[in-house]
Amino acid sequence: MPPDIEQFHHPRSARTPARETLLAGLSGAVVEIGAGDGGKFCHYPASVTEITVIEPDALLCETAREGCAGSAVPVRIQTGGLDRLPLPSGSADAVVCSLVLCCAPRLSVTLGEIMRVLRPGGELRFYEHVRSENPFVAFTERLISPIWAQAAGGCHPARDTLRAIREAGFVVDQVKRLDFDRISHVLGIARRL
């Protein structure tokens, strides 16, 4: 995992370029899927009026509740699956996904749900690890994927998440490919038409 995205061993107060890029310019009602420890809550811009967190893991819901204590933006945390987001259609101005789409059991269904809850013109902000562009590394990722998924909470390292986002009907406005410890990641913004 990259050293600048949250999880349990990273300080909540750390401002990093990846976090700032992921959240910069957001406004209105934001849905964050899979908030982990809630480390990003204090980094949302003041233009965000509310954050609704959908967290598939009940244990992480409690951790995220602790993480939202310092947030200036109201945060509501709900347990919910990735196949059916418990939100009304067109209710979000943006959806933020950070290292969670790799674990979606049915990625196309999850992306369809994200599309459903976004208002027209709404944004999907994503930071995800993806299949490597290096053929040898990509082959290795495909080879280990079944075992890795069982050992790492459903994570599929060989997914082409960026392609799946486009195939779901999103227009990708910005994308930056990053490599950390030979693991490919993408950081980007996609839009619902």
How many domains, in total, are found in the chain?
Answer: 1
Own/partner contacts of 116-119, CB < 8 Å, gap of 24 or more, are: 116/85, 116/89, 116/90, 117/31, 117/85, 117/87, 117/88, 117/89, 117/90, 117/91, 117/92, 118/90, 118/92, 118/93, 118/94, 118/192, 119/90, 119/91, 119/92, 119/93, 119/192
Q: pLDDT: is 149 or 30 the higher one?
A: 30
* Residues, the chain: 193
Question: Is residue 12 a part of any domain in this protein?
Answer: no
Per-residue model confidence (pLDDT) at position 35: 83
Per-residue model confidence (pLDDT) at position 41: 87
* pLDDT (tens digit per residue) in 88-118: 999 999 999 998 999 999 999 999 999 999 9
Question: Is residue 179 a part of any domain in this protein?
Answer: yes
* pLDDT (tens digit per residue) in 143-191: 999 998 888 888 998 999 999 999 999 999 999 998 877 789 999 999 9
| Band of pLDDT at residue 15, cut at 50, 70 and 90 | low
Helix (H) or strand (E) holding 188: strand 183-191
Per-residue model confidence (pLDDT) at position 128: 93
Question: Is residue 109 a part of any domain in this protein?
Answer: yes
**Using an 8 Å Cβ cutoff, are 69 and 44 in contact?**
no
Q: What 3-state class would DSSP assign to 69?
A: helix
Question: Is residue 127 a part of any domain in this protein?
Answer: yes
Question: Is residue 9 a part of any domain in this protein?
Answer: no
**pTM of the predicted model as reported, rounded to 2 decimal places:** 0.88
Nearest CA to 72 out of 32, 51, 36, 42 is that of 42
Backbone dihedral region for residue 94 (phi beyond 0: left; psi -120 to 50: alpha; all else: beta): beta
What CATH number has the domain bearing residue 46?
3.40.50.150
* pLDDT (tens digit per residue) in 33-71: 988 778 788 889 999 999 999 988 877 888 888 878 778
Question: Is residue 4 a part of any domain in this protein?
Answer: no
Domain range for 153 is: 17-191
Q: Name, in order, each residue with C-beta under 8 angstroms of 113's C-beta and a sequence gap of 6 or more.
A: 82, 83, 84, 85
Question: Is residue 2 a part of any domain in this protein?
Answer: no
Question: Is residue 156 a part of any domain in this protein?
Answer: yes
